[in-house]
Amino acid sequence: MTPKFKIGAITDEFSPDLDLALAAMEKIGMTGAELRVVWGKNIMDLTADELARAKDAIASKNMQVVSIASPLLKCVLPNAPEVDTRFHQDIFNSKHTFDDQPRLAEEAVKIAKHFDCKIVRVFSYWRTVDPVSCYDRVLEALQKLGDLAKQHDLIIGLENEHACQIGTAAESAKILSMIDHPNVKLVWDPANALVAGENPYPYGYDLLPKDRIAHIHVKDCHMEGYTPIWGPVGTRHVDWRGHLAALARDGYTGYLNLETHWTGSGGATKMEASTICGWNLRGLAAM
């Protein structure tokens, strides 16, 4: 069962212990590691020794770091409309504020260079009750980040996140049309678009500029009101089979990276839940 796409995972979806996560990912055949929480710390807060240890651990499994899952622009935008409280805000051990962003940007670039990684994942500030009114400031931030990335031959990957200003494919397409920057692309998360109230495939995907999709996150859920109910990949309301067929048709060559979110059922652990989803992803990627 050889995948037609490269597959990987955000490592802490298996375990915050990087060594345990990599061992589980290796068994599934994953080759791409995305770093967010490592040994219980946000990737931005690792020491030089911890970064070196992580690099050695990943190299020992013949894997590559495909994205630094930074918390950049995952904060409150000052002097903006009030935050939309309908959506849960995941912070993953990051408590950085708006004032921290310039320092975080420089640190994220250093970490990406350390791991020979091309993509730095960013967001668009916590979602307000009037996202469109914040677009100019989101664009300003993305332009600065894109310019910084260009200096280092990196890609700023804007993730569509339901709890941030840019949550759907429609919003992603709009903001990308407003910033024609070769170093600013999209981390496309269909399940996040679903949580934001959009049908991610085929409707959402059809709106996206295919050449601006740098990376894809894979998870699955159905909605109960504004609450996502996460489940095994390929069993909920994201049409992953149809979506992957379209990606193959359109020549997508990047990674499919698991971001499980599901915590399992019947007493299962998060490791067990991610292992189930990882094998599901491998099967889907081989179709």
Whether the per-residue pLDDT at 54 is higher than 90: the answer is yes
Q: Pick from 256, 204, 209, 238: which is nearest to 67 by CA? A: 256
Q: What's the average model confidence in pLDDT over 21-47? A: 97
The reported pLDDT for the residue numbered 229 is 96
The reported pLDDT for the residue numbered 207 is 98
Which pLDDT tens digit goes with each residue over 226-243? 899 999 999 999 999 999
Which pLDDT tens digit goes with each residue over 259-285? 999 999 988 899 999 999 999 999 999
The reported pLDDT for the residue numbered 200 is 98
The reported pLDDT for the residue numbered 33 is 98
Q: Is 95 helix (H, G, I), strand (E, B) or coil?
A: coil
Whether the per-residue pLDDT at 2 is higher than 80: the answer is no
53-91 burial, b if ≥16 CB within 10 A, otherwise e? Answer: bbeebbeeeebbbbbbbbbbbbbebeebeebbeebeeee
The reported pLDDT for the residue numbered 72 is 97
CB distance 11 to 270 below 8 Å: no
pTM above 0.85, yes or no: yes
The whole-angstrom separation of Cα 33 and Cα 20 is: 13
Q: What's the average model confidence in pLDDT over 5-34? A: 98
Domain residues of the chain, as ranges?
A: 6-285
Mean pLDDT of the chain: 96
**Given the structure tokens 């971001």, which residue do they identify?**
259
Q: What DSSP state is assigned to residue 201?
A: I
Q: What's the average model confidence in pLDDT over 44-62? A: 97
Q: Is 6-285 assigned to CATH 3.20.20.150?
A: yes
Whether the per-residue pLDDT at 92 is higher than 70: the answer is no
The reported pLDDT for the residue numbered 177 is 98
Per the model's pLDDT, the better-predicted residue between 96 and 140 turns out to be 140
Sign of CA dihedral 53, 37, 215, 2: positive
Which pLDDT tens digit goes with each residue over 151-162? 999 999 999 999
Whether the per-residue pLDDT at 41 is higher than 80: the answer is yes
